[in-house]
């Protein structure tokens, strides 16, 4: 069963309020467009460090979700994705509340 917040992530992707891909996410963090970054629990150590360091430096909240890359990829409809940046404040707030 898919989590509620993953349904919202899928909705945000279809509304074009997300970015995927390490470089796109880093650019969105630097330009202060990213409101929340979600990382799969099986993300690689280097990618995790790079994205979490950027988030901490620029003050962007991030969450390491309980699902793996398969579940995250399925939610957004793209294969082999380990991170997603939510670009809309409304989606980010709702997802944060669902994550607890």
At 19-37, the pLDDT tens digits run: 999 999 999 999 999 999 9
Distance between start and end Cα atoms, the chain: 18
Task: Determine contact, residues 99/39, Cβ cutoff 8 Å.
Answer: no
Give this prediction's pTM: 0.94
Going from the C-alpha of 90 to that of each of 11, 36, 60, 93, the distances in angstroms are: 12, 11, 15, 5
Domain ranges of the chain: 4-99
Q: Using CA atoms, how far apart are residues 45 and 1, in angstroms rounded to an integer? A: 27
Architecture of domain 4-99: 2-Layer Sandwich (3.30)
Structure confidence by residue, pLDDT tens digits, 45-92: 999 999 999 999 999 999 999 999 999 999 999 999 999 999 999 999
């Amino acid at each position: 069963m898919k989590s509620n917040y993953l349904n919202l992530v899928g909705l945000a992707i279809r509304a074009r309020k997300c970015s995927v891909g390490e470089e796109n996410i880093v650019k969105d963090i630097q330009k202060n467009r990213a409101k929340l970054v979600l990382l799969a629990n099986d993300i690689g150590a280097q990618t995790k460090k790079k994205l979490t360091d950027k988030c901490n430096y620029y003050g962007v909240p991030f969450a390491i979700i309980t699902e793996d890359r398969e579940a995250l990829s399925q939610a957004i409809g793209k294969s082999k994705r380990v991170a997603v940046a939510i670009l809309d404040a409304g989606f980010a707030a709702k997802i944060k509340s669902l994550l607890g």
